[in-house]
Structure 1
Amino acid sequence: MANLIFPSDFEWGAATAAYQIEGAAAEDGKGKSIWDTFTHQKGNILNNDTGDIACDHYHRYQEDIALMKEIGLDTYRFSISWPRVLPAGKGKVNQKGIDFYKRLVNQLLEAGIKPAATLYHWDLPEQLQLKGGWENRDTIYYFQEYAELMYSELGDLVPRWITHNEPFVVSMVGNLFGEHAPGYQDYNKALQVAHNLLVSHGLAVDSFRESGIKGEIGITLNLNHVYAKTDSKEDQQAKDYCDAFNNRWFLDPVFKAKYPTKLLALYQDKFGGFEIETGDMEIISREIDFLGINYYSRAVVEYAEDELLKHKTIKPEQAIYTAMNWEVYPDGLRDLLIRLNKEYTDKEIFITENGAAFADQLAADGQVHDQPRVDYLREHFKAAYQAIEAGVPLAGYYVWSLLDNFEWAFGYSKRFGIIHVDYQNQQQRTLKDSAKMFKQVIADNGLTD
């Protein structure tokens, strides 16, 4: 392999989310989130796990930042727990919550690590869910007020802001498939939630501009490049529907101020549509400074007459799969990045999440030899490099995740971290081989022989 050296200003980082790592679920005035409620309802989460303690990052953030510094991270993406700073989602501010994030950010800056803050990584305050959650249009404006609070408290310290993480997952996995909080299975609800999330994104961008903060703001979408099983007309139609559902339903409003025509017509015919107020699409499509993308795998589809969206995904044989049963397909990252740059945006793109879960174990030598993850990351770094070579303005890469953590519906059964967390042994942290490899990549600013 020839040396693959990234641009000199390229940023290497790792990402986490508040509910997955913080713990301290009811400490220092924090209010309940929908995930606190959902995880305590028996049967929702594998092994009935909860995020009550998680990685105890709330108490151990200094240790975790020291590990980030040891690895050499340029930047760290974290999320703010909305109910930690506004226990009821609105109104009274919890100063202890604000102070925690100030300590976290100041410590990052002291370590020479650029903070990147995500405003919403799924932990809606339970008090707002009781009023209808994201289906209730009022939540859009509560989110804007929460965003304004965080800009005023942290805006002089945090140079990169992300409004929402994966609105697809919030709307569809939480409100259509029922696998995530709040656990509904209702198409109308899911579509209204998706729309309201996007409007709240646009208003948070407006507030950011009005604040005068020196920094950049964007949104993170989980996207997967879609491939048809064959070149047949039917399979191509299946690909188009899958791409509209997975990708364009969120990309098109943000960058083109419209929903995919064919899918919108189908939804309106089948479900009677959802409420779009005058001016909403203009708000959603406010100019952003960058696009964040989370990429884990591709989708391969074939035509399925009986399905509402005329497609079903298939699992290619002879492929390698992660512990999540997701195909390892680095070329999909390259293809996706090139497509986004060509069809949607010439702005900077950040890979805000990419990584893999494998069945990691502490070896007899006290180390974690996670060669499958080492291979996974190296191949995806190569794909990112190929995209840059093809002209994509890729500006940074956040590995998911810094720590093994609470993996939503899968509880603690899946390990995505480059740092091993021993939940049974006082939360002991151990750098995996993948973290050591990543340290070398950062030091070299790329892949070298």
Structure 2
Amino acid sequence: METYRISIQWSRLIYNFEKCSVNKDAYEFYLNYFKEIKKRKIKLIVNLHHFDTPYEIFKNGGWENKNTIELYLKYAKKCFGLFGDIVDEWATFNEPSANVECQYLYGFHFPKVQDFKRSIQVYFNLMVAHSKTVNYFKTIYPNKKITIIVSINPAYPRSQNKADLQAAEFRNMIFVYFQLNLILKGTLTKQLENFLKQYDLIPQYFLEEFEEIKKAKIDYIALNYYQPSRVKAKETKKIEEKIMPLSFYDYYEWPKRRINPHRGWEIYPQGLYDLAMLIKNEYDNFAWMISENGMGVENEEKFKIEVIINDDYRIEFIEEHLQFLKIAIDQGSNCFGYSLWTFIDCWSWANAFKNRYGIVEYDLENKKTFIKKSGIYISELIKLKSQ
């Protein structure tokens, strides 16, 4: 393994958010953790925010409150000061759009709000916090790298019918270009600007915030890809009390789709190629890596033979995605890395330990780890790469 990405939890490290006071036990825990990774000569990438805004901040408006931007910046500065010498690279946020979707669009995560306008405000504020953090970081570590981890589910239309094409274009405008344009170009698309104005969705902003966004230059972008979105034109047009993204398209099941039966997600490795070409053609072939790609499986212990889980389905998944990624790289895509989600079975915000993603099994009952067949496969793949 060449790189390992982990996150710091804001509310564990800091206990007074205005003063940014440090919890000594948490500091020592993270420092020792980082040292163990560095002992193994693995590049350490530390992410500052993985969905976990402190509850005390939520009580004061969370990311709808502009003050949260400043609190986050204080926290980021504190982390850089505490761990800057040992951390190789930093990330500001993990999947900010997924964070917003789960918290402010679909009500999956606390505070379980379903409001399109509030979600736009929250996302914009997250981007301001990201940009201010990047700009500060570059003043103190001009030779170190910083990124942001973005989840992308490209939308594909049901047909080439105009209405279906418009449905896919709309979803990509909201969930793909909104993210990539702000992060990589520092602007919104004209199409998105017009849409926000038309439906009174423009967030509260200050001109200097857009200046921060334009100035923020990350070193590469980290992309998470799991599955595509399949969309079609709305089947029924009805007057709704409030506008939501699904006011403009419906999902549909592609007849040729392949499904991970253990998780319910579509397996579409070509989406990784299409994503690579999008970055190449629309964003000046910006440097990027796959920071997450993987396969969750429920009740995976049923595939265990003796002490090893025979997860051939995961090996096939990895191979297919790497094949499409190699085609993209051969065609000039500026992709320099691939990280699987995840090294070891991990905990999920919504599903606890139900779905297992690791190439290393974590036995909850005995607190032991066992390499899976996919882990052996990855090990052999790394050996081939190093030859």
| TM exceeding 0.5 | yes
- Is 1:397 the counterpart of 2:338 in the alignment? yes
- Is 1:334 the counterpart of 2:334 in the alignment? no
Which of the residues 82, 89, 92 maps onto 2:10? 82
Distance in 2 (CA, whole Å) between partners of 1:390 and 1:201 is: 31
Going from structure 1 to structure 2, the CA distance change for 1:188 and 1:265 (only over 3 Å counts) comes to: same
Partner of 1:433: 373
Which of the residues 191, 207, 218 maps onto 2:136? 207
Going from structure 1 to structure 2, the CA distance change for 1:89 and 1:375 (only over 3 Å counts) comes to: farther
Partner of 1:352: 291
Q: Which amino acid aligns with 2:45?
A: A
Residue ranges of structure 1 left out of the alignment (5+ in a row): 1-72
Partner of 1:417: 358
**Preserved contact between residue 225 and residue 332 of structure 1 (Cα < 8 Å):** yes
Q: Which amino acid aligns with 2:265?
A: W
**Preserved contact between residue 118 and residue 162 of structure 1 (Cα < 8 Å):** yes
Identity among equivalent positions (%) equals 27
- Is 1:299 the counterpart of 2:239 in the alignment? no
Partner of 1:182: 111
Partner of 1:277: 206
Distance in 2 (CA, whole Å) between partners of 1:215 and 1:100 is: 24
User: 1:213-252 counterparts in 2 under 5 A?
Assistant: 214-252=143-181
Length-normalised TM-score, structure 1: 0.80
Going from structure 1 to structure 2, the CA distance change for 1:374 and 1:434 (only over 3 Å counts) comes to: same
Residue ranges of structure 2 left out of the alignment (5+ in a row): 238-244
Distance in 2 (CA, whole Å) between partners of 1:300 and 1:364 is: 37
Which of the residues 168, 176, 180 maps onto 2:97? 168
Distance in 2 (CA, whole Å) between partners of 1:283 and 1:250 is: 15
Q: How many residues align?
A: 374
Q: Which amino acid aligns with 1:400?
A: W
Distance in 1 (CA, whole Å) between partners of 2:256 and 2:229 is: 15
Going from structure 1 to structure 2, the CA distance change for 1:272 and 1:217 (only over 3 Å counts) comes to: closer
**Preserved contact between residue 120 and residue 201 of structure 2 (Cα < 8 Å):** no
Which of the residues 110, 115, 125 maps onto 1:196? 125
Going from structure 1 to structure 2, the CA distance change for 1:420 and 1:267 (only over 3 Å counts) comes to: same
SS at match of 1:98: helix
Cα offset, 1:78, TM superposition: 0.5
Cα offset, 1:400, TM superposition: 0.3
Partner of 1:64: none
Distance in 2 (CA, whole Å) between partners of 1:387 and 1:181 is: 38
Cα offset, 1:128, TM superposition: 0.9
Going from structure 1 to structure 2, the CA distance change for 1:320 and 1:136 (only over 3 Å counts) comes to: same
Cα offset, 1:163, TM superposition: 0.6
Cα offset, 1:123, TM superposition: 0.9
Which of the residues 247, 264, 274 maps onto 1:325? 264
**Preserved contact between residue 229 and residue 235 of structure 1 (Cα < 8 Å):** yes
**Preserved contact between residue 310 and residue 373 of structure 2 (Cα < 8 Å):** yes
Cα offset, 1:177, TM superposition: 0.6
User: 1:55-134 counterparts in 2 under 5 A?
Assistant: 73-91=1-19, 92-134=21-63
Q: Which amino acid aligns with 1:397?
A: Y
Q: Which amino acid aligns with 1:436?
A: I
**Preserved contact between residue 158 and residue 254 of structure 2 (Cα < 8 Å):** no
Partner of 2:252: 314
Partner of 2:240: none
Q: Which amino acid aligns with 1:377?
A: I
**Preserved contact between residue 349 and residue 394 of structure 1 (Cα < 8 Å):** yes
Moved more, 434-443 or 91-100: 91-100
Distance in 2 (CA, whole Å) between partners of 1:272 and 1:247 is: 17
Moved more, 131-140 or 207-216: 207-216
Distance in 2 (CA, whole Å) between partners of 1:200 and 1:183 is: 22
**Preserved contact between residue 279 and residue 286 of structure 2 (Cα < 8 Å):** no
Distance in 1 (CA, whole Å) between partners of 2:17 and 2:99 is: 17
Pick 1 or 2: higher relative contact order, CA cutoff 8 A, min separation 6: 1
Going from structure 1 to structure 2, the CA distance change for 1:173 and 1:264 (only over 3 Å counts) comes to: farther
SS at match of 1:410: coil
**Preserved contact between residue 87 and residue 125 of structure 1 (Cα < 8 Å):** no
Going from structure 1 to structure 2, the CA distance change for 1:396 and 1:308 (only over 3 Å counts) comes to: closer
Length-normalised TM-score, structure 2: 0.92
Q: Which amino acid aligns with 1:366?
A: V
- Is 1:384 the counterpart of 2:310 in the alignment? no
